[in-house]
Chains A and B, each alone.
Chain A
Amino acid sequence: GEDVEQSLFLSVREGDSSVINCTYTDSSSTYLYWYKQEPGAGLQLLTYIFSNMDMKQDQRLTVLLNKKDKHLSLRIADTQTGDSAIYFCAESLGQTGANNLFFGTGTRLTVIP
């Protein structure tokens, strides 16, 4: 079955770059997503990448996809204290992202002032 894995914790100093990693098992994934969840809140879509791309940049966020190794990463440049949250990687297996998402367990990012 589908399995999405992430490391549980990451701590960085304010101003440094953060890199959050994710591995997934299903090679038929069509879309891969990064969501952010702050305490007690729902999920905020940060960015997504189509499986035929290997990189996507959006302001401070850079997503890298290595389809051969089934590895996805999210780099946050100039990390701020407001970036402290749980970050979820998710894959979609359908023809479009409207099909169900499989989530990892999330990486808790702590930004140290």
Chain B
Amino acid sequence: ETGVTQSPTHLIKTRGQQVTLRCSSQSGHNTVSWYQQALGQGPQFIFQYYREEENGRGNFPPRFSGLQFPNYSSELNVNALELDDSALYLCASSPDQSSGGTDTQYFGPGTRLTVL
């Protein structure tokens, strides 16, 4: 148990729709990262938020956007869904370095998105 939760567990959408995935980090973890894991692949970094600001972005188009809230929750939004967006979406949280926490990322169980 990492203390990181994600909802929903599974989701089915159709092409062109929009989706919002949610993540709840451990208390005190001010950094949240989102990853996309396609079938048979390793996770790929989408973006990272630190104290509610975007803190880095991978090679994903602007239709992938995010939000982080003061209560350690965050969202990943994907607009204009495409078939290739079908994947497991993972969020990972890290403790605030200023509090002397460790440097590792703790992953949630993921949301499996299927786009038809």
Point out residues on A near B: beta carbons under 8 Å.
Answer: 4, 31, 33, 35, 41-45, 48, 88, 90, 92, 96-106
Contact = CB atoms under 8 A, between A and B. Distances in A.
A100 B42 contact: no
Interface of B: 2, 6, 31, 33, 35, 40-45, 48, 50, 56, 58, 90, 92, 94, 97, 102-110
B104 A48 contact: yes
A101 B103 contact: no
Contacts of B90: 42-43
A24 B33 CA distance: 21
A97 B94 contact: yes
A75 to B, nearest CB: 20
B71 to A, nearest CB: 19
B33 A100 contact: yes
A31 B104 CA distance: 9
B58 A104 contact: no
Nearest to A108: B40
